[in-house]
Structure 1
Amino acid sequence: MLRVHFTAEDLARVRVAPGPDPMWEILLSLHVLRQRSAAPVFGPWRTAVRATLPDDTRWLLQLAPPVGYSPDFLTPTAGSCPVDAGIEQVLSTPVASLRADLAQLDCPRPDPRTDLLAGGDTAALTALGDALHAYHRHALVPIWDEVRAVVDADRAVRARSFLDHGCEGVLAALHPTISWTRPVLSIESRFPQRDVHLHGQGLVLVPSYFCRERPIMLRDPSRAPVLVYPIARDVRLTCAGRRSLEALLGRTRAAALEVIAGGCTTTELARRLGISAASASAHASVLRDAGLAVARRHRNSVLHTASALGVALLA
C-alpha cells in the first residue's frame, strides 16, 4: 500500500496536468512493450512498434523493466512538458542522482552503456538522448493525437468532478485502486507499504494513456510529487471513414461539434441545440465514429469533448 499524506495546504495545491506528459508516456509505453499481458488493450500498437523498433532505441527497454523499479531520472517532468525540454532535463540529471537511481535498477546483464551512464559519461548521455528522441518519433508521434484526445477527455471528467464534489471528490474517484480517508490517499501497490508526506508541496495528477492497472509515484522523495494514473480504457478515438465524415456536413451536426468542443453531457447538448436527447446522442455518436469527438462516462451521464481532429476542423 502507498499512503499519501495531505495537509490542508496540499489539498489547495492539487492540480491535474494540462495534457499527456511525453516523458511518462515514453517510460510507460516501454513497460507495455515488455508486458505480454498488455496485448488485449495495446495489441496492435505493441505488435507494430516491436516489429519495427530501431536498434538504437532497444537499450531503453533495459532501463524500463515491466515489473519493479524504473529510474526516476527518466521522468523528471511534473506534468505536461514538451518532449525536447523533458529529454534535456533527463540529460541534465546530476551524476549523484544517476548513480543512485541506476543502483536500484534490477538488471542481471546491464548494457555497458548503463554503467557508463551511472558515472555521467558524456557519450552515454548523448546515446540516451538520441535513443529517447528516436523512440518518441517512432512509437508515440504517430498516435499522439489519440493520446492527447483521450487525456483531454479524462481532464474534462476531472473538471466536472471538481465542480460537483471538490478536490477530495476528485481524489476519491481517481481510480478503483484508490481510497480517500482524510487526510490520507491510499493506493494499492505491489510493493511494501510506503508513506509519502507532501509537506505543503501539493500534488500533480497526471492522466496517462499507457499507465496500466494502478497509479504510480516516483520513489525519490526529493523530487516534485506526481501521481500518474491510468485513464479509463473505454475511451477511444476512432475513424469510420468517408461516410461518417460526409454525414458530418449537416447544419445541426456542425453545431453539435461546436457545443461539444466546450465539453457537455448528452442532456446539455440536447438543451443547447433544442433537440431531443435521443437525437443529441445520435449526433454525438456520429461525431465519435468520425474521430471528431471522444466521450467519457461520468457517474450517470456521458461527457463529450472534441478530439484534436475536431478542434482542428472547427479552427
Structure 2
Amino acid sequence: MVRVHFSVEDWGLLRYAPRPSPLPELHAALLMLGAPHEALLMLGAPHEALLFGRWRARTARALPAAAGPLADLVPGGSAPAFLDVLGETRQEGFAQMRAAAPELVRSELERVYTGRGGPAPAWVRSLHAGGPEGWRTLAGAQRAAYETVLAPVWGLVQDLHRAEFARHAVALAEGGPAAALTALAPGSAFEGGVWTWPAGSGSGDVRLGGRGLVLLPTFHWRGGPLVQDLPGRPVVLAYPAGPGLPPVPEGAGGPEEPLAGVLGPTRAALLRALPAPRTTTELARALGVSAATVSGHTAALRAAGLLTTARTGRSVHHSRTAVAELLLR
C-alpha cells in the first residue's frame, strides 16, 4: 500500500490542480496502453479491463510511428522522473521538462537503463549528453502521441476535471481535508497524519516534509496513485477519477462504439437522444422507428436501470439515469 505522510506545514500547502495537465494525462494514457491485460484485471473490475481493452486496441492502431521513441524511455516499465511535470499546455509542460537539471536527466536515464541488455538508442544517448537532437526527438514523439491520444478528447478531459474539482470542493467544505482526501480513493484511510491507500495501489512511503501536495485527477489510468516526488518541489499525486471508462471523442459511434456493441445500436442511440426528457413519440421521430419499437427498447433499458419513465397527463417522458450518464461518458 501507499502511505503519504503529512507534516503540520503540509496542510497549508495542500491544493487541488485547478486545470488538467496534458503531459501527466498523456503519460497516464500511455501507461494504460502498455499495461498487460492481466495487469488491467488486477487494477480494477473485469468490465473496466474489457472496456479499456477496446480503447487500447483502437489507440494502438492509431498511434503513429513518430511516437515510438517514447517507449525507449521506459525499457523496464519505469519512466525517468524528469518526465514528471505539470503545465497547462503541452508546450508549457515540455518547457518545464527541458529545464530539468542535466544531472537529474543523466541519473534518471542511467537508472531506467541499469541492467538492460544492449546500448540505449542513439537519441537517448543524445538526451543523456544534453544534445539538442535528443530533446527534438522527445518533443516530436510527445507531440505525435498527444495529437493521436489526447487532442481528440481534450475538451472532455477538461469537462471531467471541472466536475471532479467541484466534487472535491463540496467534500472539502462538508467534511474537511481528511474526509475529502479519503473520498478520492475508496478504501483509503487517514490516521495520525498518514493517508493510506488500499492494498493493490502500489507500495511505498511518500514523505511530504513541508513541500505540500498537489492533487491531480487523471481519466486514463485505473491503477493506484501516480506520484511525482522530486526534491525541492511539491509532491504531485495523480489519482484515477471520472466514470471509469476511457474518454472517447464527441460523436464517436457506429460499430466501434463500445456501448453500441453491448446494448445494440438502437438502444445506444436512444440513450444518446435523451440529453433531456423526451416522450415516446419524440424518440420515435428522432430515431426514425415506430412508437412500438421505442416502447420495447425503453422497457428493456428501464429494467436494466438505465432509464426512468414518468407519466405527465396522457404522455410519458423518458429520462436517462445516473448510471446511463456514466456509461455514455
Q: Give the match's secondary structure for 1:101.
A: helix
Contact persistence 1:98–1:118 (CA under 8 A) = yes
Is the alpha carbon distance of 1:9 and 1:35 closer, same or farther for their aligned partners in structure 2, counting shifts above 3 Å? same
The residue number in structure 1 matching 2:205 is 194
2:61 is equivalent to residue 51 of structure 1: yes
The residue number in structure 1 matching 2:83 is 74
**How far 1:23 sits from its partner (Å)?**
0.9
**How far 1:10 sits from its partner (Å)?**
1.5
Cα distance in 1, alignment partners of residues 28 and 275 from structure 2: 37
The residue number in structure 1 matching 2:281 is none
User: Which residue identity does 1:35 align to in structure 2?
Assistant: A
Map 1:161-176; keep pairs closer than 5 Å. 161-176=171-186
Cα distance in 1, alignment partners of residues 151 and 125 from structure 2: 30
**How far 1:243 sits from its partner (Å)?**
8.2
What TM-score comes out, normalization by structure 1 length? Answer: 0.71
Map 1:230-309; keep pairs closer than 5 Å. 230-234=240-244, 241=269, 244-245=272-273, 248=276, 285=320
The residue number in structure 2 matching 1:157 is 167
Map 1:140-155; keep pairs closer than 5 Å. 140-155=150-165
The size of the alignment, in residue pairs, is: 261
Contact persistence 1:2–1:193 (CA under 8 A) = yes
Is the alpha carbon distance of 1:190 and 1:170 closer, same or farther for their aligned partners in structure 2, counting shifts above 3 Å? closer
Cα distance in 1, alignment partners of residues 318 and 9 from structure 2: 44
Kindly provide the CA deviation profile for residues 136-184 of structure 1, in whole angstroms up to 9, marking residues without a partner as x: 0111111223322333322222122112101111112221353211311
What TM-score comes out, normalization by structure 2 length? Answer: 0.68
Cα distance in 2, alignment partners of residues 61 and 21 from structure 1: 21
Cα distance in 2, alignment partners of residues 225 and 237 from structure 1: 26
Cα distance in 2, alignment partners of residues 34 and 197 from structure 1: 30
Deviates more, 1:139-148 or 1:189-198: 189-198
Map 1:86-235; keep pairs closer than 5 Å. 86-106=93-113, 107-109=116-118, 110-176=120-186, 178-187=188-197, 188=199, 193-199=204-210, 201-234=211-244
Q: Give the match's secondary structure for 2:195.
A: strand
Contact persistence 2:274–2:320 (CA under 8 A) = no
Is the alpha carbon distance of 1:10 and 1:247 closer, same or farther for their aligned partners in structure 2, counting shifts above 3 Å? closer
The higher radius of gyration belongs to 2
**How far 1:195 sits from its partner (Å)?**
4.1
Is the alpha carbon distance of 1:196 and 1:26 closer, same or farther for their aligned partners in structure 2, counting shifts above 3 Å? same
User: Which residue identity does 2:20 align to in structure 1?
Assistant: P
Q: Give the match's secondary structure for 1:70.
A: coil
What is the percentage of aligned positions where both structures have the same residue? 25
The residue number in structure 1 matching 2:18 is 18
Kindly provide the CA deviation profile for residues 63-91 of structure 1, in whole angstroms up to 9, marking residues without a partner as x: 24684x311211211xx611111112222
Cα distance in 2, alignment partners of residues 150 and 247 from structure 1: 17
**How far 1:6 sits from its partner (Å)?**
1.5
Cα distance in 2, alignment partners of residues 236 and 115 from structure 1: 35
RMSD, matched Cα: 3.2
**How far 1:224 sits from its partner (Å)?**
2.4
User: Which residue identity does 1:83 align to in structure 2?
Assistant: R
Cα distance in 2, alignment partners of residues 118 and 189 from structure 1: 34
Contact persistence 2:218–2:238 (CA under 8 A) = yes
User: Which residue identity does 2:112 align to in structure 1?
Assistant: L
Kindly provide the CA deviation profile for residues 215-261 of structure 1, in whole angstroms up to 9, marking residues without a partner as x: 121243333211111115446778755885587498xxxxxxxxxxx
Cα distance in 1, alignment partners of residues 275 and 29 from structure 2: 35
Kindly provide the CA deviation profile for residues 36-72 of structure 1, in whole angstroms up to 9, marking residues without a partner as x: 32452322321122113211211102324684x3112
